[in-house]
Structure 1
Amino acid sequence: MSISTDTAKDGLLELLVQAANQHDFSLDITLNVNGAVITGTLISAKEYFTELSGMFEDGDEVAQALSEQLEQAGQAAESDDRSEASFIHMKETKVYCGDSKPTPSKGDILWRGKLNEVDGFFLGKIFDSKQ
């Protein structure tokens, strides 16, 4: 018996990511990644970079330069119609490790991860009943 070291992406998950990237589609989803549970809303790469860019636009010169570069990355992601996706982007994200409270516990958090690192997923978002 051998342990598989296959790093292939889940084809169905990649299809959902492609739909998000190519058609501005969003969807509540929960991922299993290396023992952690990551829950949030799947978004396009363009939306991810645009929202991330907005976090820097009111800062100093360095922050504004970062904001411009992130905005350009979003534009490039939108125009990139490759059939293969390598990353998944989420907003309103929470990360659960074990039985502890989610990290972060408050705020709208953007998350980006490698598709080939996702162990499993289900559609829908986990809501903390104490919120």
Structure 2
Amino acid sequence: MSSSSSAAKDSILEFFVEAANKDDFSLDITLNVKGAVITGTLVSAQEYFHMLSETFEGGNETAQMVSDQLKKAGEASRTNDTEAHFLHMKDTKVYCGDSKPTPSKGKILWRGKLSEIDGFFLGKIFDSSDKER
């Protein structure tokens, strides 16, 4: 296997990510990544970094500095017109085998390389701990 084939990205998935980044588009999606199943909602890089920065707010000086840097990364991603390399998700659950998802509680953010995703389908996986909307 050549290194160029391992860096290939699914052009449809990349289109969804670029739409999220440019137009604040979101989409429930489930990914296959190296045998794991990752389910959640695709969000823009800006929303991802903003939500991640909130986890550090109200902390000590270092935590506040991290929060500020994450906010700046989010703003920079909004104006960045280069091709997408990462996918960002919120309300994420990771399934490995038939066990309960990890993590099973909380609003989990996830970031992954587009080139490492083996497959996807639209929609989220719900389990007994989820409340149907």
Q: Which TM-score band applies after superposition, normalised by the shorter structure?
A: over 0.9
Task: Please name the residue that 2:14 is paired with.
Answer: 14
CA RMSD of aligned residues (A): 1.1
SS in 2 for 1:13: helix
Q: Give percent identity, aligned residues only.
A: 69
- Within 1, Cα distance between the matches of 2:50 and 2:36? 26
Aligned residues: 128
Task: Please name the residue that 1:26 is paired with.
Answer: 26
Unaligned regions of 5+ residues in structure 2, if any? none
- Within 2, Cα distance between the matches of 1:53 and 1:106? 20
- Within 2, Cα distance between the matches of 1:45 and 1:91? 11
Q: Verify: 1:85 aligned to 2:84, yes or no.
A: yes
Q: Verify: 1:45 aligned to 2:13, yes or no.
A: no
Q: Deviation of residue 4 (structure 1)?
A: 6.4
Q: Deviation of residue 57 (structure 1)?
A: 1.0
Task: Please name the residue that 1:35 is paired with.
Answer: 35
Task: Please name the residue that 1:62 is paired with.
Answer: 62
Deviations 1:53-93, CA, capped at 9 Å, x for gaps = 010011000000000000000000011122x1000000000
